[in-house]
Structure 1
Amino acid sequence: MPDYPVPSMDEVQLVDVMRALADPTRLRIVQILADGKPRPKAVELWDVDVTKATMSHHFRILREAGLTRTIVDGRSHAIQLRRDELDARFPGLVAAVTGGGAGH
């Protein structure tokens, strides 16, 4: 089973978060995940014009920057924004980059 480590939130740096969000595809992923609910990682569900390999790269960058976590349940993989943790560490950031933040 693959390992998907995430940095502890106290290690997450704003510069790394902003660098990850600078890519339009990754910003779109975060906007979709803004409600904090996990979403399947299947590329066809994201409405982006990239390959599966490119999408995996974007998911990895977001996870390594501390924005998301990967949830593994058997053979299915989902991605979830670390919304509550991010809101506590960087108040207002997610809402600012998502245009309000899906009711948070």
Structure 2
Amino acid sequence: MLNKVDEALFHPETDAILLTEVLHALSDPVRISIVSQLLAAPEREMPCGTFQYSVAKSTFSHHIRVLREAGVIWVRHEGTRSMSSLRDADLEARFPDLLGAVMKNAPQSEAP
């Protein structure tokens, strides 16, 4: 059974997503890499343990939190796994073409 987004975690409502927070969240190469991997994933969703990254696990968790609290991703629990999904529809509704423009102009990160 699929669980809803974890209600214990903060996820801003679509109309509460702030441009400054989204831009801050997308200003880091690790977070850009996370978003890029989600854009390439089926249904724009991945288990947190399957991301490719070259930072400590605690640092990766921090980056996931920044993206979640900015409204860029959803995080939900499915059994023992945490699933991250891109809120691209919410971002598009709030700031049309922003995610595409940022990702198109983002430097391509090296594979870890």
Alignment of 1:5-44 (within 5 A): 5-34=10-39, 37-42=44-49
CA RMSD of aligned residues (A): 1.9
Deviation track 1:35-58 (CA, whole Å, cap 9, x = no partner) reads 55210101xx32221111111000
Unpaired runs of 5+ residues, structure 2, are: 1-5, 106-112
Structure 1 segments of 4 or more deviating over 3 A?
Answer: none
- Give the equivalent residue in structure 2 for 1:82: 87
The offset of 1:86, in angstroms, is 0.7
Unpaired runs of 5+ residues, structure 1, are: none
Deviation track 1:1-31 (CA, whole Å, cap 9, x = no partner) reads 8822201111111011001111110011111
Indicate which of 47, 72, 76 corresponds to 1:71.
76
Indicate which of 42, 51, 56 corresponds to 1:46.
51
Q: Residue type of the partner of 1:69? A: W
Deviation track 1:70-91 (CA, whole Å, cap 9, x = no partner) reads 0211111110110111111111
Q: Residue type of the partner of 1:53? A: S
Q: Residue type of the partner of 2:46? A: R
Q: Residue type of the partner of 2:76? A: I
The offset of 1:34, in angstroms, is 2.2
Percent identity between matched residues is 37
Q: Give the secondary structure class of the aligned counterpart of 1:99.
A: helix
Q: Give the secondary structure class of the aligned counterpart of 1:32.
A: helix
Matched residue count:
98
